[in-house]
Amino acid sequence: MVFSTKDRRATVPKEWQPRLWAYIAGICKNHEMVCLAVGGTQNHVHILLHLPPKLALSKAVLLLKANSSKWMGEQGNDFSWQEGYGAFSVSSSNLDQVTRYIQNQEVHHRKTSFEDEFRALLRKHGVEYDPKYAFG
């Protein structure tokens, strides 16, 4: 899954990223999700996970966003996630490739903006979208 900060603002400073990514992994564990990778940049996050059968995707996203936003606020950060999200299935044979992609977000985004990356993900997965709703 992937989602950005509100208005795609750079509100996840580089020094906070390891702590926030670890906190998100902890939320996964606490709700029986298996977190395989978490990473992103100052304005978005990617999470590769296995959902337990009893947990709906929308509920998982709500748990991750609400708890991590609350935690960031408790740490003194003015922070919130965007309203929406993207979620895509990944075949078992691609888990290593997607994990590397998530772990290398900083390098990847030296050349590609979040908006371009998200559009590419939507195209790759055949998702039609209206740009005014995808990016506000």
Residue 71's pLDDT band, with cuts at 50, 70 and 90, is very high
CATH number of the domain within which 7 lies? 3.30.70.1290
Helix (H, G, I), strand (E, B) or coil at 126: coil
pLDDT in tens, 36-64: 999 999 999 999 999 999 999 999 999 99
Neighbours of 121 (CB within 10 A): 14
- Contact between residue 49 and residue 25 where contact means Cβ atoms under 8 Å apart: no
Q: How far apart are CA 109 and CA 6, in angstroms?
A: 18
Kindly state the helix (H) or strand (E) to which residue 2 belongs, with its residue range. strand 2-4
Count of structural domains, the chain: 1
> Which residues constitute the domain of residue 127?
2-134
Please tell me which residue, 132 or 103, carries the higher pLDDT value.
103
The Cα 33–Cα 48 span in angstroms is 10
